[in-house]
Chain A
């Protein structure tokens, strides 16, 4: 079955760019849609954005509140997709999850999550 694993720096300085990668195993990345979701400490889930499958030509859609700072991309050769969040502040400190988006409906499965702390 499909499994996801996030990777990237656990500490990012304010004003810099947060970069994370999600490695997909057990299935082709081209066949599904993919999303990034985050959860600030002790808070709820916040959707960051989505990248479509091959039939959507890899189109993207982002949370309006983050749209100006976010880029999600896919590397089909590595079966990975990535998140870049620019100009981070302490408010971007969160556990970041990658997830498969099935049929523009549910998210399943999710990665284990990775904590990113924004601090100098």
Chain B
């Protein structure tokens, strides 16, 4: 079965750039999405189709996807960005989520 691998945790200082990776076999051939989940809340879509931002998502969130790796980049990270982040892709007719990355802003 298809798998997506994320680092369990990433730390970043306020104002710096955070990068969260998501690895999977030939992931670049698929569309990757990213979700932000804060404690006690539902996931929120922050990036879809590799690079697109839904309305209402700040411009500091961006995405890329090439080869075997998709990357979520948060520029000028703010304290409010501290959350769990999940990547997601479709493998044929099934959906796969990465294991999630806890982003700590300190």
Contacts and interface: CB of A to CB of B under 8 A. Distances in A.
A112 B54 contact: no
A16 interface: no
Interface stretch (B13-21, B74-82, B91-99): B91-99
A67 to B, nearest CB: 10
A106 B95 contact: no
Interface in B31-89: 31, 33, 35, 42-45, 48-49, 54, 86, 88
A113 B41 CA distance: 8
Contact of B48 (A63, A105, A109): A105
Interface in A33-84: 35, 44-47, 50, 61, 63-64
Interface residues of B, number: 22
B48 A108 contact: yes
A95 to B, nearest CB: 9
Nearest to A65: B1
Contact of A47 (B42, B48, B95): B95
Given A97-B43, A107-B88, 13 more contacts: A44-B86, A44-B99, A47-B97, A61-B94, A63-B94, A105-B31, A106-B33, A106-B88, A107-B43, A110-B43, A110-B44, A111-B42, A113-B42
Contact of A106 (B49, B93, B97): B49
